[in-house]
Structure 1
């Protein structure tokens, strides 16, 4: 059986399940205390993964922000911030985005076979490009990351990536933060799309923690058969 990193999926959403609204500006779904918690979780991971759509829409930095946490990682022989990972089905990514331009750390792009050459042409000077099959083979992606020394992977979205990981049954831990408001706009983006989720009413996840953080609440879920935080 191929070895996979421990996969922690992190998301914040509104009470009615939206991770963004329909405006051009990103929707703030958390508070400073929770942003600091997320930074701590990032600092404890070997890699952070987002989808190509998130890079295009939000231009995330995906860096550990705390100088103390960065210094602690360096003292442990690690890079200041975890390596950055994305997956793409079209290779349509701008090498000038902060995902690629910020952070002295390796960036890895897993591209489906039909767009792998396009991704290499655009991004080979700023990232490592890996052919991820057609359709994208998520277990193979995780196996490749494991071979690169990734034992703990943080997945931060967006919707298509959340759906892919959760329907594939490859999430070991879910951090779900609930913001104290509704979005109420069907044009906006929900946490996940339709799919066949292994964790369904007949096979639910286990609530391991419920913690208020200011005006938001963190719900930490584990698969029902999962009892540790160790990599598979």
Structure 2
């Protein structure tokens, strides 16, 4: 078994509806959080050495993944860190757009992890806007996390989407789970969920521990940790 010290400390973060959806099927993006909660997410992002989203999230949401607060950016620079954390994505098929804001915004490192067989193709497609790394065939999460740790990433924030959260949780590679619940239902069968079906180690026989809870306006934030915690990187 790979040692937990071979990977970053991982916080997985998501906003969901009461019935567990992270979006609906409408063309416009579903708004789940409010400004106060987005500021909380920004605080966690400023804590991180890197922020990870799946390639599908880049295609559908086109996120910038930058620290929004000028004060937090200044604090990071004062600590000898870049204004925003490194950006990380993973793709099995290599379907990435070099014009996406993930690649074009912010002065920070960018990493794309893909299958060994598609490394050359992805490098050619991106043209040097990111470091492309092979992580096995098929892509192996422990290998990817060990590579990030070797590059100095001690604190990783995982922002989704559902396939990525499923991957990390099923691999028992999440040290803290932050879930914000919005007070409404989506109720659409084809809408994306927070997680997909999987064999999760955090099942009824191994319940997670509620570390904290907080009301944010009409939202509710729940922070969970696995029962067997490891030391946090402060």
TM over 0.5: yes
Note the residue ranges of structure 1 that are not aligned, 5 or more in a row: none
Match of 1:143 in 2: 146
C-alpha spacing 1:8/1:221, structure 2 compared with 1 (3 Å)? same
Match of 1:117 in 2: 120
Match of 2:95 in 1: 92
**Alpha-carbon deviations, 1:93-131, whole Å to 9, x = none?**
110000000010010000112322211111142000001
Deviation of residue 228 (structure 1)? 4.1
Q: How many residues are paired up?
A: 231
Match of 1:162 in 2: 165
Q: Whole-Å Cα distance in 1 between the matches of residues 118 and 21 of structure 2?
A: 30
Q: CA RMSD in A?
A: 1.1
Partner of residue 56 from structure 1, selected from 56, 59, 80:
59
Q: Whole-Å Cα distance in 2 between the matches of residues 117 and 22 of structure 1?
A: 34
Does residue 200 of the first structure (1) align with residue 179 of the second (2)?
no
| TM-score normalised to structure 1 length | 0.97
| Structure 1 residue ranges (4+ consecutive) displaced by more than 3 angstroms after TM superposition | none
Partner of residue 182 from structure 1, selected from 163, 167, 185:
185
Q: Whole-Å Cα distance in 2 between the matches of residues 229 and 25 of structure 1?
A: 37
Q: Whole-Å Cα distance in 1 between the matches of residues 50 and 226 of structure 2?
A: 21
Q: Secondary structure at the match of 2:14?
A: strand
Deviation of residue 218 (structure 1)? 0.4
Q: Whole-Å Cα distance in 1 between the matches of residues 89 and 131 of structure 2?
A: 11
Does residue 215 of the first structure (1) align with residue 218 of the second (2)?
yes
Deviation of residue 37 (structure 1)? 0.3
C-alpha spacing 1:227/1:148, structure 2 compared with 1 (3 Å)? closer
| TM-score normalised to structure 2 length | 0.96
Q: Secondary structure at the match of 2:205?
A: coil
